[in-house]
Amino acid sequence: MFKNKIIRWSTVAMLIAILAYFFVETFSSDTKTDGKKAEQTLSPEEYARQLRRDREEKDELFHHSNDSPITDKGTFKGLSYFEPDLSYRVRAALVPYTAEDKELKITYTDGTVETFERLFYADFFLDNEPQRLLLLKNEGTVSVFFRDATSGSETYGGGRYLDFTTAEVGSDSLVLDFNEAYNPYCAYNPSFACPLPPAENTLRVAIRAGEKYQAEK
């Protein structure tokens, strides 16, 4: 999706997300929606176990992979996460971006700029309040770069990401699972350059789900 020095983890994150999607569909015999929130019938215990397994796999990758952004693997004890919480797994209505200015210049942490395509708005509810995030497309991957009320305190100040394949956003709705929200590589190693969320993707609500960021405490 991005240039070489950016976030190789996005590819791995997508693979984990796809596996998690099939797992969720297996355990969700009847996922109903009211247009605002995904009503879950899957077991929270099974979901939490699968999510923890995915997180352990990422820790192993960061600990041993040559592509890991962790420079001191000897002292690496694993990433920090919020506890799994299905209330942060919501179904969003997708609203196509129809204005002519579909191209959006996104600034990276190293000051460079890349062009993304405004694809959809994702409308959903959290804490009984309407929320909206912009979905951006770049080289076949659709991403949500966002900040929330935890950014800079409990989570990485530069924002967190969710990634999807183009096939996953082919209908009029999309499940946003913030338990899968992750930090870019530049959160752990400044030699990587990562895209910064657009201003409109700043949520006032606190998303206490997904990856934390211990270094900012």
Strand boundaries in the chain, DSSP class E: 32-33, 38-39, 89-96, 103-107, 113-126, 129-138, 141-146, 160-165, 173-177
Are the C-beta atoms of 6 and 194 separated by less than 8 Å? yes
Torsions phi, psi of 208, nearest 5?
Answer: -90, 65
Considering only CA atoms, which of 86, 109, 98, 79 is closest in space to residue 175? 86
What is the spatial distance between Cα 120 and Cα 134, in angstroms, rounded to a whole number? 6
Torsion angle of C-alpha atoms 190, 193, 194, 195, degrees rounded to 10: 130
Q: pTM here?
A: 0.81
Sequential pLDDT tens for the chain (217 residues) = 445 344 444 444 444 443 444 344 433 333 333 333 444 567 899 999 999 999 999 999 999 999 999 999 989 999 999 999 999 999 999 999 999 999 999 999 999 999 999 999 999 999 899 999 999 999 989 999 999 999 999 999 999 999 999 999 988 999 999 999 999 999 999 999 999 999 999 999 999 999 999 754 3
Place of tokens 């600034």: 107
